[in-house]
Each structure stands twice: as C-alpha cells, then as structure tokens.
Amino acid sequence: MSATGIGAAVRRKEDLRFITGKGQYTDDVVRPGEVRAAFVRSPHAHARITSVDASVAKSMPGVVDVLTGAELKNDKIGNLICGWMIHSKDGSPMKMAPHPALAADKVCHVGDAVAVVIAETLSQARDAAEKVKVDYEVLPAVTDPAKAKSGPQIHEIAPNNTIYQWSLGDSKAVDAAFAGARHITKLDIINNRLVPNAIEPRAALAEYDSGTDQLTLWNTTQNPHVARLVIAAFVGMAPEHKLRVIAPDVGGGFGSKIFIYPEEVVCLWAARKMGRPVKWTADRSESFVTDAHGRDHVTHAELALDERGKILAMRVSTIANLGAYMSTFSSSVPTYLYGTLLSGQYDIPHIYCEVDAVYTNTVPVDAYRGAGRPEATFVVERLVEIAGRQMGIDPVDLRKLNFVKTFPHQTPVIMAYDAGDYHASLKKALELADVKGFNRRRREAARRGKLRGLGYSTYIEACGIAPSQAVGSLGCGVGLWESAEVRVNPTGTVEVLTGTHAHGQGHETTFAQLVSERLGIPFENISIVHGDTDKVQFGMGTYGSRSGAVGMSAIVKALEKIEAKAKKVAAHMLEAAEGDIVFKDGKFTVAGTDKSTTWGDVALNAYIAHKFAGQDLEPGLKETSFYDPINFTFPAGCHICEVEIDRDTGKTEIVTWTAVDDFGTVVNPMIVEGQVHGGIAQGIGQALLEGAVYDNDGQLVTGSLMDYSMPHAHDLPSFRIGLTETKSPSNPLGIKGCGEAGAIAAPAAVINAITDAIGTEDISMPATPQVVWSALSRTQTRAAA
Amino acid sequence: MSAVSMTVNGKAVTGDVEARTLLVQFLRENLRLTGTHVGCDTSQCGACVVHIDGIAVKSCTMLALQCEGSNITTIEGLAAPNGPLHPMQEAFRENHGLQCGFCTPGMIMAALDIVRRKGHDLDEHTIRQELDGNICRCTGYHNIVKAIAAGAKAMDKGGVPRQAAE
Amino acid sequence: MYNFTFHRPTTVRQAAGLLARNPEAKLLAGGHSLLPVMKQRLARPSALIDLSLVEGLSGVEQKGRSIVIGAMTRHADAANSPVLKEVMPGLASVPASVGDPQVRNRGTIGGSIANNDPNADYPAAVLGLGATIITNKRRIAADDFFKGMFTTALEDGEIITKISFPIAKKAAYEKFKHPASGFALVGVFVSKRGSDIRVAVTGAGADGVFRVKSFEEALRKRFAAKSLEGMTIPANGMNSDIHASAEYRAHLVGVLARRAVAKATA
C-alpha cells in the first residue's frame, strides 16, 4: 500500500480551505447586482387562499417586486414531481398531487410558500414580506399519520389521504407459518419523525443572462444534474442545455439536499423576470418548515418463531407519513428502501409487508440518512431482541441461530445478499465491547444506584444504489448508474470529473487516492471536479452510500480506458507492439527489456502527437465512462450500546459504543471511521433526543433549535470502531459503502440497551429522560400492585 | 445608517450599517469575510463564533454597532496569509475533525476559547462540556474532541500563547 | 429584525434619560435574550440603549456579609470570580451553568434578572438567597421582585445597577438542562443562612421562579437531603411541554432539591 493509495489514511485535500475560512458555500457566492428573496409562508397547516394583496409590500423601500402563486401559474411554471412510481397492491398508480412552487389556491402545511418578495437587501425583503396580506379560509388539518385516513381530505386526487397501499411478500405463506409457530412476538412502533438539520441551511442563487438566454443556479444540492433534469423537463423552466446548476461547497446534506425544492424554482423564475440575480438563504427556523423531514412511521410488526428460536416468518404493517406533498424520492423510502430490508441479517423464510403512505398537513417527508433502512432495522432488531428475552434465549444466541450463513442468499423480499460474514462482525464486536465483563459492570453500576443495560443491533443495509435495471423495474424514474471522466493533461496531471457530489464525504481525497494508486502518479497531481453541470457530463449525485461503490467504479472504468490508450501511445514512442507494453508504478516498459518511458512523457506525446499518425490513433488522453453496478451492495455489522440510567431523573447516558462494520474494501479508514461516527451520532439523536412534534392544528412545536434537540458533544461518547471485510462482488473495487451504517444501526442498539436496563419494552423514541422515567414509574407501579 | 469602525484580523475597518446589522452580517456582507457562517437563528449552533477582544462570542447575537472600537478575530485571521496554519487548524486537519466544513470555523474559534479558559491539557469530558455552544451534524464530535485536545497541546509546545494570534 | 435607533450612554443617568425620552426603548445588556427575540421579530423596540459603556456596572465584590455583583457582570466573569468561588461557590455555579460558553461570555446577571425568563437560572439564585436588587431608584427584595414570567417589579425608567446576595454558609444549585435550549428544564437553588432557609425553583413553575415552603419547613428541622426524602410538590401549576410534563417537573423539583442540599452540605 502506498502512502496515498487505497487503504491509506490520507489527510483530506479539501480541509485547507475549510479550516482557513475559504470554503465557498452557496450563500458565500455574490453576483453583481444580486437581489434577495424572502418568502411569504403560510401560518396555517391547511387553508384555502382567498386573496393575496401585495400592494403595500410593493411600495416598501428597496422592494423590486412581489410574485405570487397566481403569477407562477400564469407563467406556466410546472409542478415539482416525485420521481419514483409506486403501484398499490390493486395495481393502481400512486396518487401524486400537484405541488406548485408557490401555492395559488390552497396551502397544505405550515411553511408552504405563497409569495416571494424580491428586494435590494434581505432586511428590506423581510420587512416587506410581512406586509403581503394573504387572506385564508382555514380548513381542518391532520398531522398524525395514524389518523390521516379519517382526516380532512388534503388533495382531490387522494381520497382518505391515501397515496398508495403497497405490499411485498407472500401473505398466505406468512399466515401459514404464523399458524404453526411456537412463539409470536408482537410490537407496536412509532419511528419518530426527524429534521435533518444539515448545519448549512439550504440556499439558492439564480442568474439569467439575456444575451445567451442562459440560466445559472448555485444551489445547496447533493445532485446537481438531477436538479437540472427535473427543473428542465418537469418544471419546464428552461431546456437542459440552457440551465447550468452549480453545487459549490455544500455544508452537509444527509438526504435533505437531494430533493428539488420550491425555492430554487422560484429564484430561477424571478431572476429571469427581474433580469437580476436572485438569492435566497433559509434561516434555520425556515429550514424546519421547508426541508424534507425523515422517518415518521407507525408500525405493527410480528415475528413467528419455533421452539428453538428459529424465525419462521415476519409480518409488518406500516403507515408512512409523506407529508403535504410527495417530495422527489419520497415514495421509494417506505417501500423499496424499507420492505426489502426486513429480512435483516437473518434467514427468514417468509415475510409479508404492507405499507400505506398517507398525506398529512406536515412538511414533506423524504429520504434522511439511511432512508427506510433505519426504519426496517429498528423493526427487525427490536423484534429479535424482544423475542430472545421473551423466550429466555440470549439475544446473541438467537441472532447466531438465525444468521444467513451462505451466500448468495435470496431473501423473500427481493434482495439477494451477495457477500457477508455476520458471525465475524458479531464476534469482533463482542470482544471489543467486552461483553463478558458486562455483568460485573452492571453490578458495579447498581452499587452507584445506576441501571446499566446492553443492547445489540446487527443490521444490514442495501447501498451502492443501484443497478438501473433493478430500480427501473421497481418504478424509479431515472437510472442509478454513475459517470466519470478522466482528463490527462499534457504535463501528466489529471482531472477527474465525477457525477457524484461530496458535501462532507471527502471525495476530493478518496477519489484521488484511487487515481494515484492506479496511475502511479503523485496524489498532488490529481484534482477531483464535481458539482457543476457545465463541467461534468452527467451524474446521479450522492446519497444511498453510493459514491464509492458506483462513483469510484465509474472512475476505475475510465482509468482502464486511459491505460489502454496510454499503452498505445507508449507503444509508438518505444517502437514496440502494444501488447508488449507493461504499465506499472507510473512507468511504461517494453516487457522483457529495459526500454521504458514515463507517465509524463506519454501524456505529452498523446497531445503533441508527433510519434503517431493522428488518423490511426486519436490525439489526446481523455476518457469517459458510465458504470452501472450489477447488484446493490450489502454493508452489515454489529453495534453494541451500553447505557447507564439515572433512576431518579430517567436520564440515559451512553457509556460505551462499539461498532464493527463490514464495508468491503476501505479506501481511507480515517474517512470511513468519520462517516461511522457521524451516522451513529444521528442514530443516537433519533433514539434519545430528536423528534419533530406537530400539534393538532399543524403547528410544528419543535420549530427551532430552541426546541428540537440536536446531539451535542456531551450527549455522546467516543466510539470504539472495528472493521471486518468481505469484498462486494458487485463492483470492481469490492466497496460496499459506509455513509449510512451508523444511522441505520444505532437506534435499535440504544433502545435495546435502555429496555435491558429498565426491564420493560414499553418505550418510545426519543427516549428522553421523561419517557424513561415514565416507563420506570409504570413498572414500579405494576411491581407494587 | 451609522458609521462603525473596528479592527478585524489586525486591519482597521469602517462601514455604514443599519442599527439592526448583526456583526456576522457586517463580517460576511460588508467585509466579505465569509468564513464565519450562519447555521441557526436562535444562537444555538455556534457556526458564527468569532473572538471579540480575545473572547469567543456568537457573532449572530451581536450588533455590529456594539463592536465599535473592538478588536475582532475571525477564522481568516488565525494564520497569516501564506504563513503556517495555526496549531488548532492543523489539529483539525490532522485528526479529521471536520467533514462538510460548515461548522468548522466556529468550532476552531470556540476551541481556542476553551484553551484560553481551561489551558492546554484538556481531558475529553472537559472538551465535550465546553463544546455546548457548537453543533456539528457530520462528525459525531469524536474527532473534533481529539482535534481540540491535540491542538491545545500543540499550542503549548509551539509556544503559542492561549490568546493565539490576537 | 425590525430597525431601531442605537444609543450608547456612559452613565446610568444618561441611560435613564434616554429611557424616559423613548418609551418604546429597551436596555441592551448582554443581548443574549433580547437579540434572539428581536431576530424572530417577536419584539420591536424603537431604540436600544446599550449599557456596555456605562462605568461601574461590572464586577463582583464582597461587602461585609454580602456579595455584590454589578448588573453588567458577564456570566463567565461571575462564574470565575475568585472571591465568589471562595465565599459562595454555590452561587458561582449558577452563572457557570447558564447557556453555553459563548453565551456566558456575553450574557449578564442584570439582563437575566430583568428579563425574568421562567427558565432562566439566575432568578433561582436571587430568590433562593433572598438577594436585594438595587436599581437607580431603590432597593427591591427578591421576594417582591419576580412577578410572574417575564414580569418584574421594575418600573418604567428603572435600571438595575447591582444585585446584593447575602452570604450563605450553605448554598447550592442543581440544574436539569433543557436538551435543546440549554435553559433550566428545572433548576433548584437551596441555601441556609442561620435560620433562613430557602428553596427556590426555576423552569418548573408556570408563573416563573417560586419558593417551596414545604421543603423549607422540612429543612428547617434539619438541613439535610434526608429531610426531603420522599417529598414532592403538586404538579398543579407546573409547566407542561413536550420535554417535560407537569408531573415530571414536579418530580424533578424533589430530586434536584435533595441533590442540591446534599451538595450544599457536602
């Protein structure tokens, strides 16, 4: 392994600009003559708009214009769409309601945009936004997914607020298996609604050049090409070749910046109308009511086991809240990213899953770190843990008994696991966590008056999204391949253009490690270019832990083409047969001779083309590729959480955390561990702290960081991280992906630990001190009765 | 509009601002020092932390006019242009104490304030408690804690006084 | 935020004059309660009168049997005051627990008390020690000062200049932090000064800071955590929100009071 090659903990290239304050985020970009946008948003969860009067606002100082939903309609700006078609079990297509960027007739959630004020300064825009007079006829609202079907109908297209009723698996086989079961574990779960809260708020800056009829959008997006495609093809703002989307430095995404949002559409539209660049930056409270939220499932689940604890079948019924409108990929999250993972790491013969997706008067819900897989893992890992406890079987033994042991393994819910070793990660985690010493630690804690508990989560996920043919057959509207372009300059330095996008993942470093290793050239001589539709040919962006598995594979493919072409050039230079050229460590050698030439010379000769006829061999050294994987990847692992609970207050302290993950090939262990840390923190956040709460009128009670509890440094421990490795057979590097694992694994581990400590399963997320104290009080009352 | 003058990163600056102009707006919009970020509107996240007369403050919760005559240091002022990085900056890079980079300037400025108040030998518990005013969504804090401990030590060894670069 | 005019007086008299001339004006101390509210456009003062240049409003000193803290003393400075840490560490722990380090670097005792946020920390110490609030016009006893949430006995044009805390041999503060805001979900300050025993609670009461007479009675017999064993207060009148129900807050008052007494007697 070289110091900068695959497997090395290379320090990140991107850090220099960030630690010196020279990052360029969207809000940092300033265009000459730019004006600022402030949105007028609905204070009501559900209401008809009876009139909008902007006359006072338009006369305020600095105001350039006020635009409304009616004007948007007049200008024939199209609606936002959801790009993944889900069919109900009766075969009917999902009920996608119109989602205009500015509401003209009706608002469907608090924060729904009604108008936009464009002014010289942000303060002026906000001053005037308050003066836009909107009259509403307030309608009854529904926010609880469990009550959505009987609530007031939100969209004409969707009776009972039902978007689809989807199912997966063989219900008859499951029923039969349950009928013959010795033990059945039943569980009701609310998977709490979360607010992603990337620390950089969303922003958009749009500019129109009337001379070229060209629109440019700087945007906080995880996938600029998809944004361009949707805004061009569906919203109809401009044809793709007249729209450039730039994602500069982006301050975290976690899914929430995948989606195409109303604000960027409005900024583009306004910029063209005004002839001036228009910038909008959310403030945090605005983010809370406009960024897509995550999770929000209500689930009943059952597990059937035989007398030894062998799982016979699983039955899951879920209501998924998709909010007021269908966000870009919302439909796929509680279906193909959820139901397909319900087999966990286990050999389960029969699974049946039903999911009803509903509209409510809440912010749209879409993918958030893990997206469907944390919800599935929580169902599976809680069921298994509880089943073990109920049957008097050590949860570790129950897991071992049911692990998938041979590969490939076809689950009853579509996925075919191609590689893994679940025993290995469990074994290593048990050692790292010193589970053997747990009882001693528990007794010691008891002497201090603390309740100590241990919880496991042996999770699996499907990442590296995904084979285009597979996702296409499941309803996805786009292919999920990735593209790369490798440009070798005449001096031998290299630019790699990728369709993935980094917003914290460190692609500028890891992708350069790959190129450095393959071409044998210095790490410093490689630049990674991303996030600009005018530079990168096309790409699907970054989410679903796909950038390594799919994005780097595309680079490998392009590098192979580069190597082949470079060998041809070298053959001409060395006057040898192409087949005799060996390329190693940045040097081209004629096999069996000492005749050789360097990378730099070959690059130069490719461009000066003095040594070969340009008709036989094209000058230049630049190759592109599109890589489509043959399967999902299946990262898996074991997380073990140890907690101590203060009986008096109910406060949970996470004492230790052990994570052993199998991510296949690890390109940069430092970065991979960082991804695991961050994922765990978000998972712990879901389990202990975070929860978006709406009141019955549809007001978001947790509408700012004053009320929504984000994990702080003192809420978390340091993490013990270990790795095991089985290579993914579905891509050339053997990478599985690591971005979401922590968030997927963690919630179940925490709740399993808390329930172990307090001796009752009756706990909901977030398990705040009050929740734990109440559960303890209930058990004490029961014990006393 | 009122005139305001202060020293920012060692340079005397002046500007015309509304009374309601926040210090962070003045830094970002008037001075184009965009390393100081805004991540929330309720003084929670700490992305906007700068030093005023050597003390860490949330620049989203200060008026520019309150800083008349003050000495401000932002992330851009920690290392001399083309000079070596400040040990705390170096420690964040060395320990992978950042991912998306958005909270990082505030984290580094807050870290220096921890060193000012608590010294160079910082244990994990102290660092975690003292980071109460800064939120990171990417790193789970694990490597930030390591970076601050290492940076504090390096400042001691390198003879960088607690009030570094101010 | 809405715009306003900005004033920087250098004497309390000037500040009082500005207040008199601008009925819609507000005093700006540390600004860490006021500016966030103004940013949310929930307050609209016509003018801000910044007290930071007014001389003589900062500092912690011992005067006889009292600790006197200037109204503009920052939380960090009070928390780290050598004299306060020496004489009454229980009081020093109150500003040390406010918000976060950057907030403590700016926020002031005068601002906190004048604002009387029902979840703020300082009101518990002021009431829990029976402090005296000294203004440009008069001296107000703590028991007469807090008049319900965000309301105090301060009259128009009245400016807090310092707070005088009687030194108690035994005093301690226990806080259960709000996980998001950093305010007190519940905070309990206890003190014993001769026969004067006080238990003051912040964060829990729907009307702001209050004393728990039943606890004080019990502690009068013996100032020990054991004296409060099994004691709680009625949930009636407690705040209730998503983070803590009235029952839970009432329960925490008992737990934290016991812990505070244990700390004070340790």
Maximum CA pair distance of chain A? Answer: 95
Interface contact A705, partner C, CB < 8 A: yes
Listed as ranges, residues in chain A with pLDDT below 70 are 1, 783-785
Distance separating alpha carbons of residues A383 and B42, to the nearest angstrom: 40
Dihedrals φ, ψ of A774, to 5°?
Answer: -65, -45
Distance separating alpha carbons of residues A293 and A143, to the nearest angstrom: 13
Kindly determine whether residue A505 and residue B131, on different chains, have CB atoms separated by under 8 Å.
no
Kindly determine whether residue A677 and residue B143, on different chains, have CB atoms separated by under 8 Å.
yes
Chain A positions in Cβ-Cβ contact with residue B103 (cut-off 8 Å): 199, 251
Q: Which residues contact A603 (CB under 8 A, 6 or more apart)?
A: A488, A489, A490, A491, A492, A566, A621
For the residues B46-72, what does the mean pLDDT come to? Answer: 98
Dihedrals φ, ψ of A102, to 5°?
Answer: -125, 130
Q: Which residues contact A699 (CB under 8 A, 6 or more apart)?
A: A45, A110
pLDDT in tens, A165-199: 999 999 999 999 999 999 999 999 999 999 999 99
Distance separating alpha carbons of residues A280 and A275, to the nearest angstrom: 16
pLDDT of residue A465: 84
Distance separating alpha carbons of residues A115 and A132, to the nearest angstrom: 8
DSSP 8-state code for residue A448: T
Q: Which amino acid, C40?
A: Q
Kindly determine whether residue C248 and residue A773, on different chains, have CB atoms separated by under 8 Å.
yes
Q: How many helices (H) and strands (E) does chain A have?
A: 19, 28
Q: How many CB pairs lie under 8 A apart between chains A and B?
A: 181
Place of tokens 């006369």: A59
Chain A positions in Cβ-Cβ contact with residue B131 (cut-off 8 Å): 712-714
DSSP 8-state code for residue A242: G
Place of tokens 């305001």: B4
Q: Report the run of H or E that residue A69 belongs to, with start and end.
A: helix A69-74
Distance separating alpha carbons of residues A371 and A257, to the nearest angstrom: 13
pLDDT of residue B166: 43
Q: Is A214 helix (H, G, I), strand (E, B) or coil?
A: strand
Helices (H), A353-467: 373-391, 395-402, 422-432, 438-447
CA A447 to chain centroid: 43
pLDDT in tens, C12-22: 999 999 999 99
Nearest to A522 by CA among A498, A496, A493: A493
pLDDT of residue B164: 45
Tell me the shortest Cα–Cα distance from C48 to chain B, in angstroms: 9
Tell me the shortest Cα–Cα distance from C68 to chain B, in angstroms: 24
Helices (H), A251-372: 262-274, 284-288
DSSP 8-state code for residue A578: G
Q: Which residues contact A267 (CB under 8 A, 6 or more apart)?
A: A37, A204, A205, A206, A217, A278, A279, A280
Nearest to C123 by CA among C105, C148, C103: C148
- State the 10-residue block means of pLDDT for chain C, 266 residues long: 97 96 96 95 96 96 98 98 98 98 98 96 98 98 96 96 98 97 97 97 95 98 96 95 96 98 96
Interface contact B133, partner C, CB < 8 A: yes
Contact A766, A684 (CB under 8 A): no
Distance separating alpha carbons of residues B132 and C141, to the nearest angstrom: 34
CA angle A598, A604, A606 (to 5 degrees): 100
pLDDT of residue A785: 63
pLDDT in tens, B26-44: 999 999 999 999 999 999 9
pLDDT in tens, C197-212: 999 999 999 899 999 9
Chain C positions in Cβ-Cβ contact with residue B62 (cut-off 8 Å): 31, 35, 106
Strand order in the sheet with A106-107: A106-107, A47-53, A133-138
Q: Report the run of H or E that residue A584 belongs to, with start and end.
A: strand A581-584
Kindly determine whether residue A768 and residue C245, on different chains, have CB atoms separated by under 8 Å.
no
Q: Has the ipTM of the complex gone over 0.90?
A: yes
Distance separating alpha carbons of residues A520 and A677, to the nearest angstrom: 31
User: Going along A291-443, which residue ranges are E strands?
Assistant: 297-305, 311-321, 350-358, 409-410, 416-417
In this structure, are strands A350-358 and A311-321 parallel, antiparallel, or unpaired? parallel
The DSSP bridge partners found for residue A659 are: A639, A721
CA angle A539, A543, A547 (to 5 degrees): 60
